[in-house]
Structure 1
Amino acid sequence: MIKLSKRLQMIADRVPKGSKVADIGSDHALLPTYLAQQGIIVSAIAGEVNPGPYEAAQRQVLESGLSKVIQVRSGDGLAVLETGEVDVITIAGMGGSLMASILDAGKSKLPGVKHLILQPNVGEDHVRRWLLENGWKLESEAILEEDGKIYEILTASTGSLEERDALESLYAERQLPGGVNVSKERLHQMGPYLINEAPEIWFMKWESELNKLAMIEAQLKLSTAEASIVKAEQVHKEINEIKEVLACLQKVKP
């Protein structure tokens, strides 16, 4: 029986029982294998564009005796799917910008899909924007630390363009209990649910991000170019706004 990492387990826990799943960028097909072994899914497609992981996924499925449940397919993104084949798509372990581009390129394959379970390594704001712009309802956000890295898992369900006002309201500028206003841009960046919940690991992530931004600002200040000066000012403003959010939420935490 497969034992998943903490990160993959958290993704698996969000897959509804009885689903037909596509795991895009499946690597060694660990997630679909686990889901099949646990009886959580009816069927799965493991998509992988790279030859090495594709072959590893084939071996995993074959050795697990799950060839009738899991199909391993070679291809880029959602190109491995036929429309209507699956009702849940999982994508994990890549940048948010790439993830959004995969979803955008594969829009024609999304009819019939009820849930997206997405774990971007960085650039979560790209994913949140794509979901909003394409009528998907962000239902939950989770955050975890594993092996010194912090990950976010975003779960979305099918909405409709008619529900756009309700979808937009999730990112409406809001005032935190401590009195700080949070913009739509900052909610995309920091997470509308995570800002509400503000778990300790989330604070750790943003302290780390502030350190990275401070280094970027310091590098930009070494240049006298006008573009660098403007960019440094923008980064400085971003640092201050993030600090305000963190300080405000630290004050109101029980």
Structure 2
Amino acid sequence: MELSKRLTAIGAMVDPGSRLADIGTDHGYLPIWLVEQGVIPSAIAMDINEGPLLRARAHIEEHGLDARISLRKSDGLEGLEPGEADTAVIAGMGGMLIIRILERGKRIAAGLRRLVLSPQSEIKEVRRYLLRNGYQIFAEDMAEEEGKYYVVIKAGYLQETADGKEGLGPDEEPWSYIEEKYGRYLLRTGKPVFLEYLKKEEDTLIKIRETLMEVRTKKADERLLQIDREILAVKEALFQAGAEKTGEESRKK
């Protein structure tokens, strides 16, 4: 099975040997691929709707994996029992829905070792929620597919133990607004796909600004101020991502 670029980027964030719960599994392609590639031994594929589960069942049986991938109807994390999984993938939905799933399933989410999230909107809000609710973000990636850009976030819950915080050390510096909006680790790595995304974002904002300049109503002027702030933010992101990339290339030389 060959995955889309989006699902490949998500799958790459799953640690080998993970006990996976795929929330909103849809066709079940991700757990099938991860099991077939030997990344994980088994998985629980979950969805709130019966239709996707039926499609996933057909694909799982087609690949002969019905003994290794179980199916479960569940609203978010609610159908998952403590200890059944150590990693959850939540992807293919809006950021506010992901936040709602994590909030409603707090007890289960806090017991997971890893979260792999791919919000299709409200990405800044997802990062902000994680950072303010005991999680640390420690990896991010981006994939482009058919003109759309998808962010993947890997996070872990900071669990207190007798020896202090286990697993993930706290970030040295608080996240800035630019980092929350565009991603600390995307800015640091400065991958071509991310720079391409930022440039397109800048071009779109500039076009919106040009249109607003022709209207000049009170409402348009208020929107213009907002657009100007967003243009400054994306320019700063381009500078940071480009500077990080240039510095890395210089060090390699």
Range into which the TM-score falls when normalised by the shorter chain: 0.7 to 0.9
Change (3 A) 1:240 1:42: same
Aligned pairs for 1:27-46 within 5 A: 27-46=26-45
Matched-pair contact (CA < 8 Å) for 2:32–2:65: yes
Consecutive unaligned residues in structure 2, runs of 5 or more: none
Query: Residues of 1 paired with 2:62 and 2:8: CA distance?
Result: 21
Of 208, 214, 237, which residue of structure 1 is paired with 2:229? 237
What is the CA distance between 1:154 and its match in structure 2? 1.0
1:138 is aligned with what amino acid?
I
Change (3 A) 1:248 1:104: closer
Which position in structure 1 is the counterpart of 2:8?
9
Matched-pair contact (CA < 8 Å) for 1:83–1:110: no
Post-superposition Cα deviations, 1:54-100, rounded to whole Å, max 9, x if no partner, equal: 21011112222222221111222112212221000011222222222
Identity %: 36
Which position in structure 2 is the counterpart of 1:127?
126
Matched, 1:90 2:89: yes
1:239 is aligned with what amino acid?
I
Matched-pair contact (CA < 8 Å) for 2:201–2:234: no
Query: Residues of 2 paired with 1:229 and 1:195: CA distance?
Result: 31
Per the alignment, in what secondary structure is the counterpart of residue 41 of structure 2?
A: strand
What is the CA distance between 1:218 and its match in structure 2? 5.4
1:79 is aligned with what amino acid?
E
TM-score (norm 2): 0.83
What is the CA distance between 1:42 and its match in structure 2? 3.0
Matched-pair contact (CA < 8 Å) for 1:135–1:158: yes
Change (3 A) 1:194 1:170: farther
What is the CA distance between 1:28 and its match in structure 2? 0.6
What is the CA distance between 1:247 and its match in structure 2? 4.2
Matched-pair contact (CA < 8 Å) for 1:25–1:48: yes
Which position in structure 2 is the counterpart of 1:175?
none
1:140 is aligned with what amino acid?
A
TM-score (norm 1): 0.82
Change (3 A) 1:251 1:9: closer
Change (3 A) 1:110 1:249: closer
Query: Residues of 1 paired with 2:241 and 2:37: CA distance?
Result: 39
Per the alignment, in what secondary structure is the counterpart of residue 233 of structure 2?
A: helix
Per the alignment, in what secondary structure is the counterpart of residue 41 of structure 1?
A: coil
What is the CA distance between 1:129 and its match in structure 2? 1.0
Query: Residues of 1 paired with 2:221 and 2:188: CA distance?
Result: 34
1:144 is aligned with what amino acid?
A
Query: Residues of 1 paired with 2:223 and 2:75: CA distance?
Result: 35
Cα RMSD, aligned residues only? 2.5
Which position in structure 2 is the counterpart of 1:47?
46
What is the CA distance between 1:37 and its match in structure 2? 2.0
